Structure 1
Amino acid sequence: MNPNELIIRFETVDRQAEGPVTRLVGFVRARNLLPLLDGADLEANPRTAKVGPITADIVESIEKTPELFPFKTKGILVASANCRELERRRYHMTFENSDIEGILDGGHNTLAIGTHILSAAHGDPKAIKKIKTWPDFKAAWTASSGEIAALKSANPSGNGGPLDFLVPVEILVPSNAEDPIALEAFTSSLFEICAARNNNRQLADEAKANKKGLYDELRKHVPAHIAKRVEWKSNDGGDIKVRDLVAFSWVPLSAVELPSGVSAPRPADIYSGKGKCSTAFDALMEHPDVSTRTSDGTHELHNGTIASALTIAGKFPELIDLIYNEFPQSYNRTGGSFGLLRAVTTAKDLRTKPVTPYGKNAAAYRYPDGFIIPLIYGLKALLETDANGKLRWKDEPTLFLVHHLDEIVRKYKVLIQAFGGDAQKIGKNEGSYSLAYDAFETELLKRRQAA
């Protein structure tokens, strides 16, 4: 939340307590939600809201039946570990940990209410036409502070104006903020409450894992210019899917000893079973031998071996780009005609020019990733654990690919021809991965014998 404190006034409010959590539940008039809209950042919500059919339906309900709106929606769920009751049904809240405090559920309601108010403040529905995501809304909201203040001044409470509709609001606060044990029990419960509320909206597994902090170590090692484009939480606008990074992380992870009860997915799952890769990754990162659950429900990594594998996984986007760019050239240099394979299109035949998957660098061809995912898995042959159990490269991978990819592709090309250039069959076939791994291992052995 920014600012990190605000006051909300209820029209009606009830207090309900059970265990470490107290719930303040009631109706808040839209004009009294303006401070929340000023500060809301949705960091505590597992996913970012975006404009779409859901928000359109909410806005239509506000405009056509404002008197029924508070009964048509679940409203907004807010959590604050520090809440003080004032007179006249007002509550002063401060937010110290944005990961678990703030808006836990109701992000789309908040976005719809905000865009409705912006439209009324400007007197023109076109004023919100360019708003597609939560960051778009926040930028427009901040830029319209004068218009919003004028709207509030011109429409006093009780006149049935655009700020008079009611919104159901729940605020979760500690039952006993003075007791450290009770306060810790409250904060640790917030993640479970948030996840359970969002389960009703089919929250993606990746969004839950991100909320738990399971991707924090991987995110740390992915190059910054790539990490900022990853959709770490649902609807936050990234063009790179986090499950792709998680799937590729199993190449180094499968090269280390995993804790009891955790198994690496099959190599072919990196191509055709990314959901299985995500599930296995979550099980690994939540294992007590790998991470420790903190009081706020997130997980802190303490396993040095797994940390070393994720450090190496952070380099894979750049290695994948290198293979994507060089594979067609190696294929051609070893006697093949890459441009004649099915599903392959050359740059000159495309209006939108092809680029590499992660760095978005210019490429000569556009083609399915089923052709090269077995080669990406083959990089596992270049990995080993040291005396301390930490994963490391046997040979610098970029230079290795520069010097040996042609010979690896010479062997691998036989497989492509055997499957008639069908990338999907290649990607799903377990034998593709064994062949690629063996080709890497053979070239590594030849390199060491020549040294």
Structure 2
Amino acid sequence: MNPNELLIRFETVDRQTEGPVTRLIGFARARNLLPLLDAADLEANPRTAKVGQITADIIESIQTSPQLFPFKTKGILVASANCRELERRRYHMTFENPAIEGILDGGHNTLAIGLHILGAAGVEPKELKKVKSWPEFKIAWGAHHDKVKELKATAVAGEGGPLDFLVPLEVLIPADPDDEIELEAFTSSLFEICAARNNNRQLADEAKANKKGLYDYLREQVPSDISKRVEWKSNDGGDVKVRDIVALSWIPLAVAALPDGLSAPRTADIYSGKGKCSMAFDALMEHPAVSTQTGDGTFELHNVAIASALKIAGDMPALFDQLYAAFPGSYNRNQGSFGLLRAVTPADKLKAKPRTPYGKTNSAYRYPDGFIVPLAVGLRALLKTETDGKLVWKTDPAEFIEKHLDEIVRKYKVLIQAFSGDAQKIGKNEGSYTLALDAFETELLKLAQNA
């Protein structure tokens, strides 16, 4: 088998189908999850699991009450677009796209189970204590794979050994893998499922980031009329979510020089992977090359390049609103009928007048921001890096949008038609961002030639 291919056996399993998704749900013994620990990674999970009190509690539960463990935990959630049912409740699956397939939720459970197995296989406690995160665990797991195989061979099944405890396991697979449309709908749904399963913890992580001061500089750059409505602190009543502002910040941040070892999230994550954007932002702002940790545990920004990118990030909510308000008119002026798109509702058909996402100004339509995020990312074409590393606008972005949006939308409209007006598909498709960026670059080149 290749490294992303595995065979899982359930002890008990039920099959549930709704729409494009089928869920296999049941219990699997730890011994039968060894292939999952071999093959799967946490790339699809919005958080990298770390060793801490949570993993310690899980390991203690496994060791002290293994018979109750499957009822104390929600277990592990896995997704595979290519899964084949075999005999005896066995399933053969591959993870062809690690960005959305693999372990979607339950990373800390998986890490704790793996550490427990390594301990049972005879790995020294002193060595296990050095493991602090999932990547370090995977190194240790590979280094001691022979010991794990020996443990499985010697610990006879059914005798209550260290590999006999049950783990709740969910596997999401396509309802109809032979139908290309249904398969695409399945893969698209994985983004939303993953975000929803991790949503509660995500909010907690954002609250911690705010407490650490990671949002302080960004908050200062956002215009006060918008900033005052952002929920910078959980449950403080803001009608704009901080994760939306943080996701937009990656439009300029991805252009800036990031410290070694850090990378920007996928461009489409600005729309469909905001949890990943938040995680990447936290990692950036906590990096010693970017911020200095003070005595009270907060972080103070000192990186000039990142500061300049965050200053531009402060412009993004207002620019997004400008695009949102102007886009329908540009679409209609390009022989389009924006109000007839299935995701669009005209203002005269709504009781409450639609508003732009951030400034909450009046809008002629209510529609998903999946249409607009690629255009907002296209603004990267208007950014340049100075010799001192600072990021600046090449030209006034608001004026550029006002003068050139119609021509940009003329090219962009082809994409909307290709996806039959499905805003989710547009927002999740990396090609949308490439097309939008190219359209902005073309108009910028024309501007330079006519100067």
Which bracket does the TM-score occupy, shorter chain normalised? Answer: 0.5 to 0.7
What is residue 379 of structure 2 aligned with on the other side?
Answer: 306
Secondary structure at the aligned position of 2:400 is classed as coil
Alignment partner of 1:160: what SS? coil
| 1:123 positional shift | 5.1
Query: Within the alignment, does 1:251 sit opposite 2:296 as a pair?
Result: no
Do the aligned partners of residues 253 and 289 (structure 1) sit closer, same or farther apart at CA in structure 2, a change above 3 Å counting?
Answer: farther
Q: Which residue of 2 aligns with 1:92?
A: 92
Secondary structure of 2:83's aligned partner: strand
Name 2:404's counterpart in structure 1: none
How far, CA to CA, are the matches of 2:193 and 2:309 in structure 1? 30
Deviations 1:49-75 (A, max 9, x none): 000111000000000000100010000
- Mapped to 1, the partners of 2:166 and 2:312 lie a distance apart of 53
Q: Which moved more, 1:237-246 or 1:89-98?
A: 237-246
1:228 aligns to 2:289 (yes or no): no
The 8 Å contact of residues 7 and 92 in structure 2, kept in 1 or not, is answered as yes
Deviation at 1:198, TM superposition (A): 0.9
Secondary structure at the residue paired with 1:200?
Answer: helix
Q: Is the contact between residue 48 and residue 235 of structure 1 (CA under 8 Å) also seen in structure 2?
A: no
Q: Which SS does the other structure have where 2:37 is aligned?
A: helix
Letter in 2 for 1:14: D
- Name the SS for the 1:113 alignment partner: helix
In the alignment, structure 1 residue 260 sits paired with structure 2 residue 321: yes
- Equivalent position amino acid for 1:222 in 2: A
Q: Which residue pairs with 1:70 in the alignment?
A: 70
**2:256 and 2:123 mapped to 1: Cα distance?**
45
Distance 1:184 1:235, change over 3 A: closer
Partner residue in 2 for 1:83: 83
Q: CA deviation at 1:227?
A: 5.9
Cα pair 2:255 2:380 within 8 Å, conserved: no
Please list every run of 5 or more consecutive structure 1 residues that lacks an aligned counterpart in the other structure. Answer: 264-278, 292-300, 320-378, 391-451
AA partner of residue 172 (structure 2): L
Tell me how far apart the structure 1 counterparts of residues 54 and 171 of structure 2 sit (CA, whole Å): 23
Q: In the TM superposition, what is the alpha-carbon distance from 1:251 to its structure 2 partner? A: 2.5
DSSP 3-state at the match of 1:249: helix
Task: Indicate the residue corresponding to 1:323 in structure 2.
Answer: none
Q: Which of 381, 385, 404 matches 2:396?
A: 385
- CA shift, 1:215, in A, is 7.0
Query: Per-residue deviation at 1:383?
Result: 5.6
User: Could you tell me how far apart the structure 1 residues matched to 2:198 and 2:249 are?
Assistant: 19
Please list, as runs of the form range in 1=range in 2, the aligned pairs for 1:4-153 lying within 5 A after superposition.
Answer: 4-122=4-122, 124-153=124-153
3-state SS, counterpart of residue 122 of structure 1: coil
Query: Structure 2: how far apart are the matches of 1:168 and 1:229?
Result: 34
Distance 1:208 1:138 in 2: 33
Confirm or deny: 8 A CA contact 1:158 1:164 kept in the other structure: yes
Q: 1:162-201: per-residue Cα shift (whole Å, max 9, x none)?
A: 1111100000011111111111111111111111111232
**1:267-295 CA-partner distances (Å, limit 9, x unpaired):** xxxxxxxxxxxx969xxxx844543xxxx
2-structure distance, mates of 1:58, 1:160:
18
Q: CA separation in 2, counterparts of 1:49 and 1:317?
A: 37
Match of 2:176, SS state, is coil
Alpha carbons 1:290, 1:302 under 8 Å: kept: yes
The residue that corresponds to 1:371 in the other structure is none
Distance 2:122 2:255 in 1: 44
Q: Which amino acid aligns with 1:240?
A: M
Is the contact made by 2:319 and 2:376 (CA closer than 8 Å) also made in structure 1?
A: no
Gaps of 5+ in 2: 210-240, 265-275, 288-298, 325-356, 360-367, 402-451
1:240 maps to 2:285: yes
Structure 1 residues 54 and 36: CA distance shift in structure 2, 3 A: same
> Superposition pairs for residues 291-440 of structure 1, below 5 Å?
291=373, 301-303=374-376, 306-309=379-382, 311-312=383-384, 318-319=389-390, 384-385=395-396, 389=400
C-alpha distance in 2, partners of 1:133/1:317? 36
Query: Is the CA contact (8 Å cut-off) linking 1:46 and 1:208 kept in structure 2?
Result: no
Deviations 1:13-42 (A, max 9, x none): 111111111110011000110110011210
Shift of 1:261: 5.9
- Alignment check: 8 A CA contact 1:232 1:238 kept: no
Greater radius of gyration (CA): 1
Shift of 1:307: 1.5
Distance 1:318 1:87, change over 3 A: same
Over residues 203-245 of structure 1, what are the superposed CA-to-partner deviations in whole Å (9 max), with x where a residue is unaligned?
A: 44699969x9867655642325446178956499946349979
Given that 2:256 and 2:309 are in contact with CA atoms closer than 8 Å, whether structure 1 keeps it comes out as no
- Amino acid aligned to 1:73: T
Bigger CA drift: 134-143 or 212-221? 212-221
Shift of 1:150: 1.1
Amino acid at match of 2:255: H
Give 3-state SS (helix, strand or coil) of 2:321's partner: coil
| 3-state SS, counterpart of residue 151 of structure 1 | helix
Over residues 134-153 of structure 1, what are the superposed CA-to-partner deviations in whole Å (9 max), with x where a residue is unaligned? 11111111111111111111
TM-score by length of 2: 0.57
Which amino acid is 2:196 matched to? A
Which secondary structure does the structure 2 equivalent of 1:117 belong to? helix
Distance 1:141 1:151 in 2: 13
Q: Could you tell me which amino acid in structure 2 is paired with residue 258 of structure 1?
A: L
Q: Which amino acid aligns with 1:252?
A: I
Return the offset for 1:47: 0.7
Equivalent-residue separation in structure 2 for 1:316 and 1:209 (angstroms): 31
Amino acid at match of 1:221: V
